[in-house]
Amino acid sequence: MSAPRVALLGVGLIGGSIGLAARARLGAHVVGWNRSPAALEIALRRGAIDEAVDSLDDLGPADVAIASVSVDALQGAVCDLCERLPDAVVSDVGSTKQALVEAVDREQFVGGHPLAGAESVGVAHAREDLFDGATWYLTPRERTPGVLYERLARFVAGLGAVPTAIDAAEHDRLMAAVSHLPHVVANLLVEQAAQALGGATLPATGPSFRDATRVAGSNPPLWGQIYRANAAALGAQIDELLLRLGEVRDLLREDGDLSGWQAQAALHRAALLKVGMQGDSSREIRVSVPNKPGTVAQIALQLGRAGINIADMTLAPEPDNRTGVIALWVCDGDAARAIELVSGLGYPAA
Amino acid sequence: MSAPRVALLGVGLIGGSIGLAARARLGAHVVGWNRSPAALEIALRRGAIDEAVDSLDDLGPADVAIASVSVDALQGAVCDLCERLPDAVVSDVGSTKQALVEAVDREQFVGGHPLAGAESVGVAHAREDLFDGATWYLTPRERTPGVLYERLARFVAGLGAVPTAIDAAEHDRLMAAVSHLPHVVANLLVEQAAQALGGATLPATGPSFRDATRVAGSNPPLWGQIYRANAAALGAQIDELLLRLGEVRDLLREDGDLSGWQAQAALHRAALLKVGMQGDSSREIRVSVPNKPGTVAQIALQLGRAGINIADMTLAPEPDNRTGVIALWVCDGDAARAIELVSGLGYPAA
């Protein structure tokens, strides 16, 4: 995609950073609209957009359109973009995906969620390198046209992020576990410590309590919306934590030895935070596929589930226009497994 | 206390750091014993002790004796010191206090707990500045001789720490809330994320999950002992967290707005982490007291409960030997409240 035309609905921290990176790294022409004209003015002055428009009707034409507004306003924003920009792949940057993806009945829409920049707000904090190395989840559906998914994944990779396909429900479950639940728990630890201290300040101590509760109370309007939007998955994670916590309490009552449990947690954490094969060289895999909807999404989701990153992707239709070849670049170390997984879907790969 | 004689039973990270700071900052003569002769040898070579002894019988005489051994071995170690060093104030550095203080029936023993250095072990990591600015809890009892409490508090302050008197049960409740519960929760968050990720590594994301779980699985043998030693207070904190967590889950189910709750957590955290009045100048308060046991402990505990640090303290008996004066140094900003609190105990203060 050379010099893509990009439409941004919302130019805050995330939208503004997309604009900065798209212009600087992809040579994109970026047009922006924002509810607040003042923010739009700043975005223009900071070089996050080429052009500011007063009306959504003037955003297009575009190849890629991204809605970067608050969670509550996302559905309307995405629909606005789909209606006005029929040729664009439309995406968003919201922290929860299932409800939105189910509510928006458009083939051209692919949900998105970059794991970056949740802690501050406003175009004033926007940066070209905000997404460098960050996972950027994309939630293609079976009927997502491969060419649109490819365009979006390539755009996101061009901003510096690592596009990672994931099922929308799976995304929400994962975010509930690794982000929303830790935020809830941080709040509760703070409440409980405040209660135990009875108005005194925290004793001078190491950084462990500060670290454990760093996200407590962060951005209340944003987090209020995130909790609500992901209420089902977060509720399930809370239920699970209630069970686990009860088990620990019982172990403790029985004067059980928790040192084995503590050691187990050390292993879990080391496995979770294992450094990825960043320095690994990548390898091309070619997959022969029928030219039908859903194939690209199916392959991307299968690899995403296995934790295999697709560093790059191209689609090449065969002359008969009924079959084609997808070229995927993955880490050397992942190549054998990727071939096995893709072959398992019934597509010859090598 | 000029050039105190210090006896150390255990010269690991904490004992070794006490030795380094006592020698460098107080000109102390430090004698050490350790179960492992190799560690004792290192302590001697690193200058943490002046003298290494093979037998506990050779530790004395001493003004201050500190047991710095594992939680399970503390009771025996403290009793050994009390028997052999009748003139010393004996203390320890364990993370829980109530069980130990109840088990050791000795006037000369005052429980202690410096909030420093829990994350690494061994005399090789000992440092002279380990305690700089750290809260060092002391748990005097009613019958603790004032002169012994004063000696210990002054020694601890001389190492760079802030001695803070606290009731042993209150100490354990507080540590359960601000330290032991966060450790339990970090382990559970890690377990649950591992489950949700099903063997994949954590997606590349911001530092929030890493921060929230930094202490997960730390030092399993040590933490196994700490959990067990503080089982009652930790169990109560877990029960409280179960209640709070259930409330959040119910709010979420009712589609309640959690943004107000989130904002409340922000206020709590800011209040908890409020920077103390470190740069404040201090002021002397003089208190007239009867010369009877328990007075110093009573005053120190009263001020400790109110979050008022005693920066320094001296005891001066009147010539009649039936009354005396305690001089306390506290922050300017705390002086009025300290006078009020001490007067409230029935002791004239100004």
User: Per-residue pLDDT tens for B210-232?
Assistant: 878 888 988 888 889 889 989 99
- How far apart CA B277 and CA A209 sit, in angstroms, is 20
Please report the residues numbered 163 through 192 in chain B whose beta carbons come closer than 8 angstroms to any beta carbon of chain A. 164, 173-174, 176-179, 181-192
CATH architecture, domain defined by A282-344: 2-Layer Sandwich (3.30)
Q: Kindly give the confidence (pLDDT) of every residue in chain A, 350 residues in length, as a single tens digit, with 9 standing for 90 and above.
A: 578 999 999 999 999 999 999 999 999 999 999 999 999 999 999 999 999 999 999 998 999 999 999 888 999 999 999 999 999 999 999 989 999 999 999 999 999 999 887 555 788 889 999 999 888 999 999 889 989 999 999 999 999 999 999 999 999 999 999 999 999 999 999 999 988 888 777 776 656 788 788 889 888 888 898 899 899 999 999 999 999 999 999 999 987 789 999 999 988 888 887 643 334 566 778 888 887 777 888 888 888 888 787 777 777 766 666 777 788 888 778 888 889 999 898 888 88
Domains A5-166 and A282-344 share a fold: no
Count CB neighbours of A37 within 10 A. Answer: 11
Q: What is the pLDDT of residue A278?
A: 39
| CATH annotation of A5-166 | 3.40.50.720
Nearest-Cα distance to chain A for B90, in Å, is: 23
At residue B274, does pLDDT exceed 70?
no
B318 vs A9, residue with greater confidence: A9
The 10 Å CB-count burial string (b at 16+, else e) for B183-221 is bbbbbbbbbbbbebbeebebbbbeebbebbbbbbbbbbe
Nearest to A220 among B262, B273, B276 (CB): B262
Rounded-to-10 torsion of CA A228, A230, A231, A234:
-130
- How far apart CA B61 and CA B56 sit, in angstroms, is 11
Q: Among positive and negative, which fits the CA dihedral A255, A260, A261, A265?
A: positive
What tens digit of pLDDT does each residue of B122-148 get? 888 899 999 998 889 999 998 899 899
Rounded-to-10 torsion of CA A231, A12, A51, A57:
30
Quote the Cα angle for B172-B176-B180, to 5°.
Answer: 130
**How far is C-alpha B283 from the geometric centre of its chain's CA atoms?**
24
State mean pLDDT over B263-284: 70
Taking Cα atoms as reference points, which of A46, A38, A39 lies closest to residue A21?
Answer: A46
Nearest to B179 among A176, A208, A224 (CB): A208
Nearest CA in chain B to A276: B201
Q: What is the pLDDT of residue A66?
A: 98
| Cα-only R_g, chain B | 22
Write out chain A residues lying below 8 Å of B253, CB-based: 231, 235
Please report the residues numbered 297 through 336 in chain B whose beta carbons come closer than 8 angstroms to any beta carbon of chain A. 306-307
Residue A280 one-letter amino acid:
D
| Substitution target from A119, A138, A162, A189 for chain B, most B beta carbons within 10 A | A189
Q: Mark yes or no for CB contact A242/B240 under 8 Å.
A: no
Q: Mark yes or no for CB contact B241/A188 under 8 Å.
A: yes
Nearest to B211 among A205, A211, A259 (CB): A211
> What angle separates helix B37-45 from helix B13-26, to the nearest 10 degrees?
30
- How far apart CA A99 and CA A89 sit, in angstroms, is 19
- Residues B290, B322 contacting (CB under 8 angstroms): yes
Residue B184 one-letter amino acid:
V
CATH architecture, domain defined by B171-272: Orthogonal Bundle (1.10)
First and final C-alpha spacing in chain A: 26
Q: What is the pLDDT of residue A204?
A: 66
Locate A279 and state its tokens: 């320095």
B243 touches chain A (CB under 8 A): no
At residue B207, does pLDDT exceed 70?
no
Nearest-Cα distance to chain A for B237, in Å, is: 8
Q: What is the pLDDT of residue A258?
A: 92
Domain coordinates in residue numbering, chain A: 5-166, 171-272, 282-344
Residue B184: enclosing H or E segment and its boundaries?
helix B181-197
Taking Cα atoms as reference points, which of A223, A231, A219 lies closest to residue A98?
Answer: A231
- How far apart CA A22 and CA A49 sit, in angstroms, is 9
Q: Mark yes or no for CB contact A201/B135 under 8 Å.
A: no
B256 vs A249, residue with greater confidence: A249
Locate B150 and state its tokens: 């004063």
Nearest CA in chain B to A232: B253
Q: Beta strand pairing status for A135-139 and A282-290? A: unpaired
Q: Mark yes or no for CB contact B195/A184 under 8 Å.
A: no
- How far apart CA B309 and CA B147 sit, in angstroms, is 19
- How far apart CA B138 and CA B313 sit, in angstroms, is 14
What tens digit of pLDDT does each residue of B40-92 get? 999 999 999 999 999 999 998 999 999 999 888 999 999 999 999 999 999 99
